[in-house]
């Protein structure tokens, strides 16, 4: 039996010649032309993809549960308790808890907080607030990651528009993540859309590979230039999570906790995040 007819290394059960041989040849062709290409370790196997999907299903359930219960008068600490309780009740682990010293099970970023807001019993949601709840789940060793924006009570038109435009940025970014396109295509699509509508895009934080670990390569920048950056190959799994500011793009990290990022001008920021899988037909969201 020739090597090409041996079972593929990915465990699909198919012959190597019918599975990853053509993909690897195509990657090599791009590499020889000078393009940045992913290491084969970034391509998830069918077994890994199945496990990551199960984790994503629980992660989606967590956000659905938050959406059903979040309201004015609730503390962000109460959100954290909901996330923890739902996650462990489904046999999973909240990935943020104790990650690099992070003290809570999720991130709750309110109004001008860009990301990594720490749930706190003294932070009470009030009508007019917008809040991002970012949850990540470990299930049977596999990781998932997603966030949603929630509008509390009566939210003004400017904040409503920011939330809607940011969600559209996510959709456009996923649409741009085509197989054999480039990472820069995602950033170009998101950045161009946001900038044309008068918003700015955070550069310091971005999406990331996910699945086997919480944060993996590659980094996903939400601004970019088409046909630049890493080649997008079927089997890659990463997050797209644009952080869009109403005002200036500059941010700072709160020195009091060394986690929470805020806008420099105090204007609101919004973020939506999905975990996506690159397939031969395009990117699909594994979280909802």
- Look up the pTM and report it: 0.95
Q: Give the CATH number, domain containing residue 158.
A: 3.90.230.10
Instruction: Encode pLDDT of 149-200 as tens digits.
Output: 999 999 999 999 999 999 999 999 999 999 999 999 999 999 999 999 999 9
| Residues paired with residue 283 on neighbouring β-strands, in sequence order | 278
Position 288 confidence tier, pLDDT thresholds 50, 70, 90 = confident
Measured on CA atoms in the order 101, 106, 109, 114, is the torsion positive or negative? positive
Q: Is residue 200 part of a domain?
A: yes
Tokens 């088409």 label which residue? 226
3-state secondary structure of 273: strand
Taking the C-alpha atoms of residue 245 and residue 239, their distance in angstroms, rounded to an integer, is 19
**Where does residue 131 rank: exposed (0-12), middle (13-18), buried (19+ CB within 10 A)?**
buried
Q: Is residue 121 part of a domain?
A: yes
Taking the C-alpha atoms of residue 65 and residue 108, their distance in angstroms, rounded to an integer, is 15
Q: Is residue 231 part of a domain?
A: yes
Q: Is residue 15 part of a domain?
A: no
For strand 200-201 and strand 142-151, is the pairing parallel, antiparallel, or unpaired?
unpaired
Spatial contact of 231 and 238, defined as CB atoms under 8 Å apart: no
Instruction: Encode pLDDT of 208-258 as tens digits.
Output: 999 999 999 999 999 999 999 999 999 999 999 999 999 999 999 999 999
Q: Is residue 158 part of a domain?
A: yes
Structural domain that includes position 214: 35-285
Instruction: Encode pLDDT of 15-64 as tens digits.
Output: 999 899 999 999 999 999 999 999 999 999 999 999 999 999 999 999 99
3-state secondary structure of 209: strand
Spatial contact of 128 and 157, defined as CB atoms under 8 Å apart: no
Q: Which helix (H) or strand (E) holds 193?
A: helix 183-196
**Token pair of 276, please?**
């996506």
Q: Is residue 7 part of a domain?
A: no
Taking the C-alpha atoms of residue 128 and residue 163, their distance in angstroms, rounded to an integer, is 13
- Tally of domains within the chain: 1
Q: Is residue 235 part of a domain?
A: yes
Angle, vertex CA 33, rays to CA 31 and CA 38, nearest 5 = 20
pLDDT score of 2: 42
- Give me the mean pLDDT over the 65-89 stretch: 98
Q: Is residue 9 part of a domain?
A: no
Report the chain's mean pLDDT, rounded to a whole number. 97
pLDDT score of 43: 98
């Amino acid at each position: 039996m020739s090597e090409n007819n041996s079972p593929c290394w990915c465990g699909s059960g198919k012959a190597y010649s019918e599975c990853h041989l053509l993909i690897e040849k195509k990657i090599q062709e791009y590499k020889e032309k000078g393009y940045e290409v992913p290491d084969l370790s970034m391509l998830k196997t069918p077994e890994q993809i199945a496990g990551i999907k199960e984790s994503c299903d629980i992660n989606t359930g967590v956000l659905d549960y938050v959406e059903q219960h979040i309201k004015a008068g609730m503390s962000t600490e109460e959100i954290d308790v909901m996330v923890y309780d739902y996650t462990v009740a489904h046999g999973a682990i909240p990935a943020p808890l104790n990650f690099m010293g992070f003290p809570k099970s999720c991130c709750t970023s309110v109004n001008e907080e860009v990301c990594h807001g720490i749930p706190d019993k003294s932070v009470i949601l009030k009508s007019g607030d917008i809040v991002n709840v970012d949850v990540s789940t470990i299930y049977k060793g596999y990781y998932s990651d997603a966030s949603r924006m929630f509008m509390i009570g009566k939210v003004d038109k400017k904040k409503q528009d920011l939330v809607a435009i940011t969600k559209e940025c996510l959709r456009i970014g996923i649409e741009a993540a085509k197989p054999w396109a480039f990472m820069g295509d995602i950033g170009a699509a998101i950045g161009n859309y946001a900038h044309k509508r008068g918003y700015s895009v955070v550069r310091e934080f971005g999406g990331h590979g996910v699945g086997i670990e919480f944060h993996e390569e590659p980094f996903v920048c939400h601004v970019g230039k088409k046909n630049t950056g890493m080649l997008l190959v079927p089997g890659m799994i990463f997050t797209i999570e644009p952080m869009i500011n109403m005002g200036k793009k500059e941010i700072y990290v709160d020195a009091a906790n060394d986690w929470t990022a805020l806008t420099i001008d105090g204007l609101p920021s919004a973020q939506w995040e999905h975990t996506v899988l690159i397939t031969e037909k395009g990117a699909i969201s594994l979280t909802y």
